[in-house]
Structure 1
């Protein structure tokens, strides 16, 4: 009996030790992966041009905070990029949520082979990126290349799969008896959708909204091809253009300052809504 107890205790103690250090390990890894790059961007945005030539984690010897950020505001078209990002982001998010949630309701409630196939096609956009050359040529043929309308259409197509994936899984676990009772009371399909389904989709809609907003706000690749040469520009696109100019090639302090300003709105959104992100992902995936 003593031998059996002695053989069990080391294993139990080892598991208990691993369980106790696991949260600490997660925090350390998070700080290294996320905290170190953020700290590097922040401190180098306060340095002089000469000191920022070799970006590092050290605090600046000479603080150049006011000059750097004022120069970025004056030469980097911060306000123009901010307004352009809003003009692109808000309609894209609203549009993809309206169309995506309605499509998800239909896909979740009609259990046919055709709907299963359409669902597979709908979520394929998560792993299959759209072809940029085809997109640009199509927008030119439609006459909306370089416009906000064209950019909004591209983003809606890109992130529709994300909304369908989350919302469809959530709707499938809403009791269908709620909809049947509403239909018995004389409710039309649009009334069932607006009065029964949408109010129950609060957590997953909040999650999809935040994820799509973050993705659209920081996207630059497709914005470069679609909006390039147009009258509207976004903050990431302005950052790319500023960083590509010869006079800014070695001015890492100004580039980092622009990154900080561009990231602030989404950082605030993420901090405020991080609990909804977790709860919505859990609700959509686990259910």
Structure 2
């Protein structure tokens, strides 16, 4: 009697090598930069002149955090970031989800063209010069309202793209039953559609918050010098004054600035993945 190992029970080398390569690539691409930032943020000024992988001989991480918060105008910049991010995110979610509801429920050539134009903002970059000139004509240059309008216009396409695919998976019978009971379109949207959109809206919220929270380019042109946000404040003070050649303070600032979104992403990563797969892919 001969004993032979079935082909499917044999361990193929590529099935072992691929996960190892993937984990090693993730560690190198993500772990090494994070390690450099953390180690440099924990050093003093002399040790941090040349950021490297070596840990500090004596930790100054919390002292650097305190210096950044008290002397780096970080709290004021945090207020500026929240001032433009919160209204922009709420506004783009409301307008984008309502537009996506209409586009997802109608099937005509005209609305297909409208949908294509609505999501074209994902691949077409905004014209910065035109935006600045338009805001000056409207008297909104250098104001929080103008910055909120810019962010809403930039990321409305993202919300429409995610939510439209999700709306098409919702049974139409739910809306028809509500209309039979006498519900208005606004009531149908608020009571029926909006609660069902929460998973994909959570995904869109985190992504848009990430974009706005880390934006320095558009904020520099629109509100630079009149309103501080966290990345804009870091850009301004890193080139002069307190943070000049002080890499330990710069990296400490980066850690504090990234911490809220990092914690949010770790907690809500499952909702992000489920929202992407259930909305945009369908």
Q: Is the 8 A contact 2:72 2:242 kept in 1?
A: no
Normalising by structure 1, we get a TM-score of 0.91
The Cα shift of 1:195 comes to: 1.3
> 1:69 offset after TM fit, Å?
2.2
Matched, 1:198 2:194: yes
**Cross-structure match for 1:62:** 58
Where is the helix percentage greater, Structure 1 or Structure 2? Answer: 1
In structure 2, the CA distance between the partners of 1:74 and 1:112, relative to structure 1 (3 Å rule), is: same
CA distance in 1, matches of 2:196, 2:214: 29
Alignment equivalent of 1:164, drawn from 144, 160, 165: 160
Q: Distance in 1 between matches of 2:237 and 2:9?
A: 58
> Which residue of the other structure, out of 269, 273, 277, is the alignment partner of 2:272?
277
Segments of 5+ residues of structure 2 without an aligned counterpart are none
User: What secondary structure, in the 3-state scheme, does the structure 1 residue paired with 2:238 have?
Assistant: helix
Separation (CA, whole Å) in 1 of partners of 2:43 and 2:186: 57
Pairing 1:229-248 to 2, within 5 Å after superposition: 229-230=225-226, 232-245=227-240, 248=243
Which of 19-28 and 117-126 deviates more? 19-28
Question: Once the 2 structures are TM-superposed, how far is the Cα of residue 20 of structure 1 from its aligned partner?
Answer: 4.0
Query: Residue by residue, what CA displacement relative to the aligned partner does 1:3-22 show, whole Å, maximum 9, x if unpaired?
Result: xx89x84x8746x4433443
Tell me how many residue pairs correspond in the alignment: 280
1:13-92 aligned at under 5 Å gives the runs: 13=10, 16-92=12-88
**Deviating runs (4+, > 4 A) in structure 1?**
none
Question: Could you tell me which of 179, 183, 194 is aligned with 2:179?
Answer: 183
1:48 and 1:199 map into 2 onto residues whose CA distance is 50
Q: TM-score, normalised on structure 2?
A: 0.93
CA distance in 1, matches of 2:221, 2:247: 25
